[in-house]
Amino acid sequence: MNKYLIKNNIFPLRIFLILIILIITIGCSGSRVNIIAPSVSYPVSLSPAIRDTDGRILMEDKLEKVGSFKYKYTTKHMLWMTIALNKTNHDISGELNRQINAAGGEAVVNFTINGISNDWNYWSSSVIGLFGLVFPGYAKFETEGDIVRRKSLFSEIEGLPLSGQVEIKDDSV
């Protein structure tokens, strides 16, 4: 190695600059989103229970499933998620209202949000990033839940036997 390069600190400076470039470009893939629902007209619960209008907790046995809520969203970012390529606050109120109304439901229970990464994020941040190129990263988000309504009085007594089938015992005799 050239003594001039080492003596004048040019070689360590080049190594340092290369490392800085690698640190900046590697790992800059991925994405995030804030899923919000500020104007949803129906109750949404992460649990299998929901409160009714009186504040009582309705467990699963008092609810009937009338549909499934599903919504998918993809978000894109660049440079460690500092540059958003689409909106980072994603309002799903309209979609919740539309699907619950279409199913004739009164609420959503068992609501989940899943973030799904992908192989592109790993390749773009490690292999392609080594060449000093910057590519966007993305992630898919899936929201799911059960659309439910309160069981009606008819559905609660539906399983009971008809009056002609009831056996009455009289223990007073």
- Token couple for 93: 């109120």
Return d(Cα 99, Cα 145) in angstroms, integer.
11
**Domain limits, the chain:** 3-152
Lowest mean pLDDT among 71-75, 82-86, 133-137: 133-137
Distance in angstroms (rounded) separating the CA atoms of residues 132 and 164: 82
Q: What is the pLDDT of residues 119-130, one digit of tens each?
A: 665 555 555 555
What are the tens digits of pLDDT across the range 85-132?
Answer: 677 788 999 999 999 999 999 999 999 998 876 666 555 555 555 554
Locus of tokens 């990464």? 117
Residue 155 CA, chain-centre distance (Å), reads: 33
Residue 165 pLDDT exceeds 50: no
Closest CA to 22 of 138, 122, 101, 126: 126
Nearest Cα to 76, choosing from 2, 3, 134, 153? Answer: 134
Q: What does the pLDDT read at residue 164? A: 45
Q: Which residue has the higher pLDDT, 144 or 53?
A: 144
Q: How is 17-34 classified by DSSP, letter by letter?
A: HHHHHHHHHTT------E
Q: Does 149 have pLDDT greater than 80?
A: yes
Given the DSSP bridges, would you call strands 34-36 and 89-91 parallel, antiparallel or unpaired? parallel
pLDDT of 3: 58
Summarize pLDDT for 4-53 with one digit per residue, the tens.
545 556 667 777 777 776 666 555 555 667 889 999 999 999 999 998 88
Q: Is the pLDDT score of 1 beyond 70?
A: no
- Are the beta carbons of 75 and 86 closer than 8 angstroms? yes
| Domain spanning 3-152: CATH 3.90.79.10 | no
Quickly list H helices, the chain: 3-7, 10-25, 93-103, 119-126, 153-157
